[in-house]
Amino acid sequence: MKDSQGKLYNLINLEEISGGSDEFIVEMTKLFIDQARKTISGLNAAFDEKNYTEIKNLAHQIKPSIDNIKIDILSPIIREIEQLAEAEGQPDKLSPLIMETNTVLETVISQLETELETRRK
């Protein structure tokens, strides 16, 4: 679900726990971008290798971050990836979910990078 500016995320949770510290929000945002990039490449490699344990681990690791910056469109998808990987099967179901996750994460990374630029000014 996009907000009024078309963003796929919402930093309200970070703003609440930051106590108004832009520096904190910028650091947490950078950490998320780094984690999201690793998740994208990791999911692709693990899927190619049919390494369901790694897929499950990557989905599990990024799940709290997705929830924290409220990427609502991804919350159910990342949970489904984790469950399917745990069952070690159904690559025909996993593949489109991983592709969608990667697409959404790439969009969010791009949007967050734009937001970081505006926060630095």
H-type helices in 7-90, by residue range? 12-18, 22-48, 52-68, 75-86
What b-and-e string marks burial along 98-114, b requiring 16 or more CB atoms within 10 Å of the CB? beebbebbebbbebbee
- pTM equals 0.89
Q: Please give the distance of CA 53 from its chain centroid, rounded to a whole number.
A: 18
Give long-range contacts, CB 8 A cutoff, 24+ apart: 110-117: 111/7, 111/8, 111/9, 112/9, 112/29, 112/32, 112/33, 113/33, 115/7, 115/11, 115/29, 116/26, 116/29, 116/30
Specify the pLDDT at position 5.
Answer: 65
Q: Where are the domains of the chain?
A: 12-116
Tens-place pLDDT, residues 9-26: 999 998 899 988 889 999
Q: Length of the chain in residues, anyone?
A: 121
Q: Please give the distance of CA 85 from its chain centroid, rounded to a whole number.
A: 17
- The Cα–Cα gap between 104 and 119 comes to 22
Average pLDDT of every residue of the chain: 91
Q: What's the average pLDDT block by block, 10 residues per block, for the chain (121 residues)?
A: 72 89 91 96 95 96 94 96 90 93 96 88 63
- Topology of domain 12-116 in CATH is Four Helix Bundle (Hemerythrin (Met), subunit A) (1.20.120)
